[in-house]
Amino acid sequence: MDANKSIEQRIEELESLVYASKNVLSFDEASKFLSLSKSYLYKLTSAGLIPHYKPQGKMIYFEKNILEEWLRQNPVKTQAQIASEAQKYLLNRK
């Protein structure tokens, strides 16, 4: 191990390895994985705006791959992508 790394850095690296190997995340793990505060994540679950599971009706769990899909919703296109789509649209109209 690198002696110059702080304990915090080493803990963060270990947490990253744990998240990479897990398919189902607890509420706390999902909060860290998404970089969202626990209160905001709770608001999202309460409003039904983020996919989650409550197997016993109390504890909240998340599937990591579904969270990744949720993060990728509503992509913002670049100006080049918009121009390309506009050009294709105009060519197809003729």
List, as one string, the DSSP characters of 15-71. Answer: HHHHHHH-SEEEHHHHHHHHT--HHHHHHHHHTT-S--B-TTSSS-EEEHHHHHHHH
pLDDT (tens digit per residue) in 22-71: 899 999 999 988 999 999 999 999 999 999 999 988 899 999 999 999 99
Question: Where do the domains of the chain lie?
Answer: 7-93
pLDDT at 6: 86
- Write down the architecture of domain 7-93 according to CATH: Orthogonal Bundle (1.10)
